[in-house]
Amino acid sequence: MKHPSLVRRLAAGAYDGLLLLALLFAAAFAFIALFGSAVEPPRRYAFQAYLLAVMAVYFTWFWTHGGQTLAMKTWRLRLVSASGRPVTVKQALQRFLLAFAGLAFFGAGWWWALFDREGCFLHDRIVGTRLVLI
């Protein structure tokens, strides 16, 4: 399996970010239409958890149904397990949570790819997944 370049993976991530932004706008509209303002606690915390869940469902569903988000299809990337098999729901959820945490912690999990021998992100190393070029 051929490993994609870091630039290709980051470009796919940026593209996914744009798609996700549109999805989150629609999800936020639905939440606010149903529950009203999400400015004050505790509704704000519920809103944040809801948006995190929307992101988790987006990535988990695509990664477990073909191994590709829409952006990954465009950039010819696929997520597979370390053995080359399809990703399980457990792996997809773990990968999402660790990638999110790594990004929130100053991108530490993403910076890892600069030093990894195969260019893998830290969350891929921990979960046992990898991105491959197709």
Provide the Cα torsion 72, 75, 76, 81; round to 10°. Answer: -40
pLDDT per residue as tens digits for the range 71-121: 999 999 999 999 999 999 999 999 999 999 998 899 888 899 899 888 899
Please give the pLDDT value at position 14.
95
- Let me know if 74 is exposed, middle or buried by CB neighbors in 10 A (0-12, 13-18, 19+): middle
Please give the pLDDT value at position 110.
87
Q: How many helices (H) and strands (E) does the chain have?
A: 6, 2
Say whether 75 sits in a helix, a strand or coil.
Answer: coil
- The two structure tokens encoding residue 83: 């053995």
Please give the pLDDT value at position 109.
87
* CA dihedral (124, 60, 19, 35) positive or negative: negative
Residue 1 reports pLDDT greater than 80:
no
pLDDT per residue as tens digits for the range 3-40: 899 899 999 999 999 999 999 999 999 999 999 999 99
Count of alpha carbons within 13 angstroms of residue 93, beta-carbon side? 5
Ranges assigned E (strand) in 31-133: 77-81, 129-133
Task: Please list, in sequence order, all residues whose beta carbon lies within 8 angstroms of the beta carbon of residue 84, skipping any fewer than 6 positions away.
Answer: 1, 132
Instruction: Give the mean pLDDT of 28-57.
Output: 96
126: confidence class by pLDDT, cuts 50, 70, 90 = very high
- β-strand 77-81 against 129-133: which pairing, if any? antiparallel
